[in-house]
Structure 1
Amino acid sequence: MAIRSLFQASLLAPLVSIASAKPIFTGSNGSFAETQKLADPKYGPTPGEDPIFSTYYGVEAPFPGYLRDAVLPTKTGPPGEDDQVWQNLLSAEWIIFDFYQQAVEAFNASAFVKAGYPNTTYQRIQEIRNNEAGHLRIFQNQISPTSVKPGACQHQYPFDDPISFLALVTVLEISSMTFLTGLVESAKLESSHGAMIAIAETEARHEAWSLLEIWKTNPFGGPSDTVFPYPNQILDTTNAYIVPGSCPAQNPEYPSPRQGLPALSAAKNTTSLLPGSNIGLSFVDPTNQPTFDANTQYYAVFFHGTNNISVPINTSCYPAQEIRVTIPAQFETKGVIVAVVADTPGAPTKESVVAGPGIILEQPAALATKLL
């Protein structure tokens, strides 16, 4: 599968479907009753204490990944101050956990060796899968007992071989750093800030492994990862991996609040997404297109590092003609660029964003051809 098509694969033709996960903890069958025991933070292995979250090398889903129902509130009262942020993050973590779990089930060590990757690749994927299982438990425990802990939906992903899977690993791991910075800004409690930073540091190690071992490229992304202030907009793009209608009925909206903005991509004839490249913008979902006011000036806003640059765009001929814009040449070819279309320079509020976001990878060069 071509790299450029990774995020355009149709949900109508799943390439990898979720297998029935068998429990490896306490011999349970993963029933609804056992899932509700997750309301007790002391139930089951503890992340940071049990090696299941680091060095388990089985195929079956580790705890709590096979307990997939929503965990219902055990107390009445107002939600915790950061419950909504943690609910969003837990729902997103189910998407990431299933991504790695499905790969563990679909492939084996020899599949990656035959594809030309190091003989430790499958083991590292299992270890990342284990880390993500630990994140599930950490996030569940951060949500107060007065709020639902979201369960797992069914997920499908556009990979069908080790190469397309590892390409998507890199896209997701690098992109995760962008929304995690915004989530930290969204949280109110100091304890939440610390926990999110700790998770981000682990994700950074996953990203560095991918760049170093898989792509044999420099893992340094410049002096700062990209800060994008509207994490729910990035999380919303991951709804593409959720099978419609498959989520537990008790789950809150994901993400909440959800803007449902038109998806932003590069035009199909794009050959370069390097700084200084002139590209066409495409809004890929025909059922969700932006509406432009003839009396409003719109901008393509590019976030990179801790800064952003706004470029005026001409929307008067859309949709008869594509909208074109030049990626700011000032940006170095490091890390990731996040692009949105906004009605105000700098996109100072989430309401000013009318389409996007799109993710432009600058590293590795083999993947730097895709605007999500």
Structure 2
Amino acid sequence: MGAKYLLRACALASLGAIALSKPVAPVRSAAFLEAQKLADPSYGPVPGQDPIFNTYWGKAPTPHPAYQEGPPGVDDQVWQNLLAAEWIIFEFYQQAVEMFNESSFIAAGMPNTTYERVKEIRNNEAGHLRIFQNQISETSVKPGACKYQFPYKDPQSFLALGTVLEISSMAFLTGLVQQVKLNTAKGAMLAIAETETRHEVWALMDIWKVNPLGGPSDTVFPYANEVLGSTGSLVVPGSCPKENPEYPSPNQHLPNLGASKNTKSLAPGSTIDLAFGDPTNQPKFAKGKQYYAVFFHGVANISVPIETCDWPQKNITVTIPPQFEEKGVIAAVVADTPGAPTKETVIAGPGIILEQPEPLGVKLL
């Protein structure tokens, strides 16, 4: 099967309903004292100083701390959300390291360095865990790992989903950096975003053999928690430490936003039918009120009026703005106000449309 087919299959398979679990917050156990030690920046390997976060080649998880409690800080809630999300990304790569080997990727037609790169990215993500834990104050809970389930069974579907995750995380981080108040926190998040971009550039060039340049600006999507909310289906219900905060916090529990299963193209200018996934969590449209599909690309957004009076008997149809170039990523929401100027104006979404390596599908996961 060709790379294009596999990418499309992976993305379109992710358009369905996503039941959002509510991870709840780290059990005090015998491991707590060890976690306290590991969360101390002077204990054990330090990201940026110890090569283990780049050059560890074992299959067992890269050494990293789990969690600990600490004092409330001005940006603690943002870092808690980011740490909880990072556990998902770390486990995404860790499970692949355990499931596959060098021969797995070579047999799938990938470069012979692919498994090594996957482990190196896994190591980077372990370093991110440590960095995020150290950013959380001593009296705030440091979310611990849950159990996770990922919809990949082979190297191709793993790398396709990884492409979706990495490119989407770049749009997510542009929103998250707007939530923090300390300049040091903004700088740290920018540094992490740059690392995630390198991961994505590697995949686009080495794996998919496409142009990695995404235009003059990556996409700015202002509501990071809305992106995080769409990852809840990856968390095994009931598997999180009992003291973990709700993920994300606050959580709007928005309906999912995707495209109908018969969608043929998601390139700019394409007309699509919107789908909202989970039948138990559908948007509510007030009669006589105008709603909009708002598409974010680069540093701008374009609002397209939609007709909702006959929904759900009739699909909601919208044309993706043809003004956008086929580069990078487009984030879409349904809103009750042009431009979706506040998170409260968002009715459903976000959906993520990848334009590279080809239009994959709407929805992060």
The normalised TM-score by structure 1 is: 0.90
Quick one: which amino acid aligns to residue 51 of structure 1? P
Q: Is the 8 A contact 2:12 2:261 kept in 1?
A: no
Please give the alpha-carbon distance, in whole angstroms, between the structure 2 residues aligned to 1:275 and 1:226: 15
More relative contact order, 1 or 2 (CA 8 Å, 6+ apart)? 2
Please give the alpha-carbon distance, in whole angstroms, between the structure 2 residues aligned to 1:181 and 1:331: 19
Match among 257, 261, 267 for residue 268 of structure 1: 261
| TM alignment of 1:1-372, pairs within 5 A | 2-7=9-14, 31-64=31-64, 67-68=65-66, 70-73=67-70, 79-365=72-358, 368-372=359-363
Q: Is the 8 A contact 1:275 1:332 kept in 2?
A: yes
Q: Is the partner of 1:54 in helix, strand or coil?
A: helix
Q: Is the 8 A contact 2:166 2:196 kept in 1?
A: yes
Quick one: which amino acid aligns to residue 71 of structure 1? Q
Q: Is the partner of 1:302 in helix, strand or coil?
A: strand
Q: Is the 8 A contact 1:6 1:168 kept in 2?
A: no
Q: Is the 8 A contact 1:271 1:369 kept in 2?
A: no
Please give the alpha-carbon distance, in whole angstroms, between the structure 1 residues aligned to 2:17 and 2:313: 25
Q: Is the partner of 2:177 in helix, strand or coil?
A: helix
Q: Is the 8 A contact 1:39 1:145 kept in 2?
A: no
How far residue 5 of structure 1 moved from its aligned partner, in angstroms, is 4.2
How far residue 72 of structure 1 moved from its aligned partner, in angstroms, is 2.3
Quick one: which amino acid aligns to residue 60 of structure 1? A
Q: Is the 8 A contact 1:301 1:341 kept in 2?
A: yes
Q: Aligned in 2, Cα 1:256/1:11: closer, same or farther, shift over 3 Å?
A: closer
Which residues of structure 1 form unaligned runs of 5+? 13-29
Superimposed CA distance per residue, residues 71-106 of structure 1 (whole angstroms, 9 cap, x where no aligned partner) = 223x5xxx1000011000000000000000000000
Quick one: which amino acid aligns to residue 275 of structure 1? P
Q: Is the 8 A contact 1:275 1:331 kept in 2?
A: yes
Q: Is the 8 A contact 2:12 2:362 kept in 1?
A: no
Q: Give the fraction of aligned pairs with identical amino acids, expressed as a percent.
A: 66
- Aligned residue pairs total 346
Q: Aligned in 2, Cα 1:309/1:11: closer, same or farther, shift over 3 Å?
A: closer
Please give the alpha-carbon distance, in whole angstroms, between the structure 2 residues aligned to 1:310 and 1:128: 36
Superimposed CA distance per residue, residues 217-248 of structure 1 (whole angstroms, 9 cap, x where no aligned partner) = 00000000000000000011111210111111
Quick one: which amino acid aligns to residue 49 of structure 1? Q
Which residues of structure 2 form unaligned runs of 5+? 1-5, 20-29
Q: Is the 8 A contact 2:81 2:248 kept in 1?
A: yes
Q: After TM superposition, what 4+ stretches of structure 1 lie above 6 angstroms from structure 2?
A: 9-12
The normalised TM-score by structure 2 is: 0.92
Quick one: which amino acid aligns to residue 53 of structure 1? F
Please give the alpha-carbon distance, in whole angstroms, between the structure 1 residues aligned to 2:144 and 2:14: 24
Superimposed CA distance per residue, residues 101-152 of structure 1 (whole angstroms, 9 cap, x where no aligned partner) = 0000000000000000000000000000000000000000000111011000
Superimposed CA distance per residue, residues 36-58 of structure 1 (whole angstroms, 9 cap, x where no aligned partner) = 32342212210011111001111
How large is the Cα RMSD of the aligned pairs? 1.5
Q: 103-112 or 237-246: which moved more?
A: 237-246
Q: Is the partner of 1:185 in helix, strand or coil?
A: coil
Q: 326-335 or 238-247: which moved more?
A: 238-247
